[in-house]
């Protein structure tokens, strides 16, 4: 990779700080609004090699889904949706980063519910800061729109008036702060 992420993000390993990061999603509900939620448990690393090419590995504990509604969260954990009993973790492994104007595209393989598909996240690199006594931190924002059915979440709950209770397109938004390891 020859982008400014490579020249601005120092070589080494960066660990996602879950206290200063978030993994959220939104999906159309009853055609007219959106349900929003997130995952409370996730981890990951960004490794920048001597050649400046970053590699991202991330993991989400799917049973940590939180939409602020216990009944809905229990349904999301069931076989109809995430099937956390059989697939407790979603993973992402990057394959490349490329420039796209002032932003970047982070390509990789995403696995959810045992199904792996290539995805491309729209990525913004927010820079590096010396941190507050615990080492350098780097900030990123990323998003992607996925079709839930591509990952085996194909429950259909049609409405009598047309449309569905849950939309097919899910927007995933990441706010990531990563700490450089010594």
Q: What one-character-per-residue DSSP string does 120-182 give?
A: EEEEEEEEEE--SSS--EEEEEEEEEEEGGGGT-----B-TTSSBSEEEEEEEEEEEEEEE--
Is the model's pLDDT at 27 over the cut of 80?
yes
135 vs 43: CA distance, rounded Å: 18
| Cα separation, 125 vs 9, whole angstroms | 9
Q: What is the pLDDT of residues 47-67, one digit of tens each?
A: 998 887 889 999 999 999 999
Residues 7 and 56 sit within 8 Å (Cβ to Cβ): no
**Listed residue (61, 56, 79, 3) closest to 176, CA to CA:** 56
Q: How many angstroms separate the CA atoms of 153 and 76, rounded? A: 10
Among 28-42, 72-86, 132-146, the range scoring the smallest mean pLDDT is: 28-42
Q: How confident is the model at residue 3 (pLDDT cuts 50, 70, 90)?
A: very low
CB contact at 8 A, 77 and 84: yes
Residue carrying the six token digits 């400014």: 4
Burial degree of 19 (CB within 10 A; 0-12, 13-18, 19+): exposed
CB atoms within 10 A of CB 41: 15
Q: Enumerate residues 6+ apart whose C-beta is below 8 A from 18.
A: 41, 42, 43
Q: CB-based contacts of 28: which residues, under 8 Å, 6+ apart?
A: 34, 166, 167, 169
Q: Tell me, what's the pLDDT at 7?
A: 47
In CATH, the architecture of 4-180 is Beta Barrel (2.40)
130-176 pLDDT, tens per residue? 878 788 999 999 999 998 888 888 877 665 776 566 777 899 999 99
Average pLDDT, the chain: 88
17-21, 22-26, 50-54, 165-169: lowest mean pLDDT where? 165-169
Nearest alpha carbon to residue 44 among 151, 181, 182, 160: 181
């Amino acid at each position: 990779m020859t982008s400014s992420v490579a020249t601005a993000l120092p070589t080494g390993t960066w660990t996602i700080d879950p206290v200063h990061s978030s993994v959220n999603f939104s999906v159309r509900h009853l055609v007219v609004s959106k349900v929003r939620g997130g995952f409370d448990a996730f981890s990951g690393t960004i490794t920048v090699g001597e050649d400046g090419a970053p590699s991202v590995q991330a993991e989400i504990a799917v049973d940590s889904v939180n939409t602020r509604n216990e009944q809905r969260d229990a349904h999301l954990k069931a076989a109809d949706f995430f099937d956390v009993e059989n697939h407790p973790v979603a993973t992402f492994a990057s394959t490349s980063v490329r420039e796209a104007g002032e932003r970047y595209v982070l390509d990789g393989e995403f696995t959810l519910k045992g199904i792996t598909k290539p995805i491309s996240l729209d990525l913004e690199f927010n820079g590096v800061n010396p941190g507050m006594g615990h080492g350098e931190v780097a900030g990123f924002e990323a998003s992607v729109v996925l079709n839930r059915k591509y990952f085996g979440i194909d429950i259909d709950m049609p409405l009598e008036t047309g449309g569905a209770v849950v939309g097919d397109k899910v927007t995933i938004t990441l706010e990531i702060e990563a700490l450089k390891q010594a």
